[in-house]
Structure 1
Amino acid sequence: MELRQRALEVLRLCDPEEKSAAALDMYAQAARISIATETRLTAPPADTLPGRPARPQLLHHTAVARRSPATPEGRAVLIHAIAHIEFNAINLALDAIWRFAGMPETFYRDWLRVAAEEAKHFRLLRDHLRRQLHHDYGDFPAHQGLWSMCEKTADDIVARIALVPRTLEARGLDATPLIQHKLRQVGTPDALAAVAILDTILREEVGHVAIGNHWYGWLCTRDGLDPVAHYAALVQRYEAPRPKPPLNEAARRAAGFSEAEMRWLQHG
């Protein structure tokens, strides 16, 4: 098995169970997998990326309704939304593996780890939806904001690493404790079980954002770019969202954000 070609094949899979299982299987075989780091793979038709199921229905993010987690239906909507983010995150990691040639082998192994952990997160959340909330992935509408940024940065690896893992995914570091607080206030067994799942996700997402920060710093050093100034330029060029306060400062620092970056994120 060659990792980058296989990542593209898995990215195109439509069934969530099959895709998550394949990502985990790739990671299980990591020690034996070869990586054609210099090969430039031929991109398939854009409308085949990523492979996704017929459901959930995809809407603009402003059209996706939010509901209070005080009700079982509201908690199902919330967990479904997070599961959709994790499903997209599998795709984002796989896309980074196949799309960008010429990086060190450790780059591809890092994103393979991310893809597998995102697959684990998706499965934890989907199982919770089914067992605790009597719903399944696809039962509610979702949005495609994460993949939209993936498409916009398809030709610029620096922008991709700056704006997907360390911007969009880093927002999860800020949002997760707030979500957990609301679920603890609800206090039902399913809500508290969801808090425990989110503990696992938050801990591992710190590592994913750290991988993004590491490779963004590596790319900036390679290309002679100032990380803070170039990040500000990329945010403006690609109209990336700013983080919503309060920031999870401890998690962001643990993920490798510098003090200069923290000041920019807080004050611009």
Structure 2
Amino acid sequence: MQENFFALLEEILHTPQISKRFALFESLLSSLSSLCLDHTYTIRHIGSPIYQGICKIVHPTKISRPKILKNDTAMASFLHSIAHIEYSAIDLALDASYRFRNLPMEFYLNWIEVAKEEIQHFQMLRSLLQRIGFDYGDFEVHSNLFDAMKATPIFADRMALVHRGLEAGGLDANPFVVQKVSKSSHHLRDEILQVLQVILKDEISHVSKGDKWWKFSNDSRSFEEILRHYSYTPPKILNTQARLQCGFSPDELSSLQNFHLPHSI
């Protein structure tokens, strides 16, 4: 009897131990071509972040972010914040593959590929953390990405808000993050910059997939309507070059740069 793709994904999504869930994911990858996709498989909802037993979750405003990366603790705090985004993004990709049914096989393969790359990003960042005496879970985190995932069980909303909206915000932040690291004299600076370059390249691919499947949804609402529905405002400064590579049009970028929520007029 063939194993069910969705059942295996569910096990990964509900496994809290990092090493075990990554091993389960590798097992899924190795057997991917032989799995059956039973789209009638019942969806088991995720009530709380899988990392809640590893990290202390606080409100985003309670998290201190070092302005200057002058020592190991400051650099570890910085690396931890990025590692947490990547770890959260693993679940975003896995949940997209698990939650949305009766879609082309390309959709499931796309988000499994994204999950694989997010795992690689997390492992690279965690390795750097460990080399300076820290590990994932040593600093406080927020649950913004999990909250956005939980709030968007509708396919079009997930693709628009999360994979085309929030994840594109990571592209916008990348140049500033690189600049911050470049100013540091930390002995791992050059290796960290290399990892950030890998992440940027892969994230362009990830947002491109969000763009593709948002357009596939053929939703009657505009992208900006969905952003406004969830009270999400894009960053003031957009990485226009990266966003153009992902499928955003010049007119759309111009509109996003002048984006505002009704209450902020």
Q: CA deviation at 1:197?
A: 0.7
Residue in 2 aligned with 1:252?
A: 243
Aligned-partner Cα distance in 1 for 2:142–2:241: 29
1:39 aligns with 2:40: yes
Pick from 148, 168, 174 the counterpart of residue 172 of structure 2. Answer: 174
CA displacement 1:16-69 (0-9 Å, x = unmatched): 222233334423433333323x3242324x43x543352210001111111132
Residue 106 of structure 1: how far off its partner (Å): 1.0
Report the alpha carbon displacement of residue 233 of structure 1 after superposing the two structures with TM: 1.5
**Structure 1: runs of 5+ lacking an equivalent:** none
Aligned counterparts of 1:263 and 1:94: Cα–Cα separation in 2: 32
Counterpart in the other structure of 2:83 = 83
Aligned residue pair count: 256
Alpha-carbon separation, structure 2, partners of 1:107 and 1:126: 29
Question: Does the residue aligned with 1:39 lie in a helix, a strand or coil?
Answer: coil
User: Within 1, Cα distance between the matches of 2:64 and 2:19?
Assistant: 26
Report which stretch shifted further, 139-148 or 257-266.
Answer: 257-266
Q: Who is 2:181 aligned against?
A: 183
The one of 208, 219, 234 aligned to 2:226? 234
- Cα distance in structure 2, aligned partners of 1:40 and 1:33: 13
Structure 2 Cα separation of the partners of residues 93 and 112 of structure 1: 7
Distance in 2, Cα, partners of 1:243 & 1:189: 34
Aligned equivalents of 1:52, 1:73: Cα separation in 2? 22
Look up the match of 2:128: 128
Query: Percent identity, aligned pairs only?
Result: 32
Give the equivalent residue in structure 1 for 2:93: 93
Contact 1:40 1:101 in 2 (8 A): no
What SS is found at the alignment partner of 1:135? coil
3-state DSSP of counterpart to 1:189: coil
Q: What is the CA-CA distance between 1:188 and the residue it aligns to?
A: 2.7
Moved more, 76-85 or 12-21: 12-21
Which of 215, 226, 229 is matched with 1:217 structurally? 215
Q: Secondary structure at the match of 2:15?
A: coil
Q: CA deviation at 1:15?
A: 1.2
Question: Any conservation in 1 of the 2:94–2:112 contact (CA below 8 Å)?
Answer: yes
Matched, 1:263 2:265: no
Q: Is the 8 A contact 1:23 1:119 kept in 2?
A: no
**Mind listing any 5+ residue stretches in structure 2 that lack a counterpart?**
260-265
State the shift of 1:72 in Å. Answer: 1.9
TM-score norm. by structure 2 comes to: 0.91
Matches within 5 A, 1:4-153: 4-36=6-38, 38-44=39-45, 46-47=46-47, 49-52=48-51, 54-67=53-66, 68-131=68-131, 133-153=132-152
- The one-letter code matched in structure 1 to 2:77 is V
Distance in 2 separating the partners of 1:185 and 1:7: 41
Q: 1:24 to 1:203 in 2, by over 3 A?
A: farther
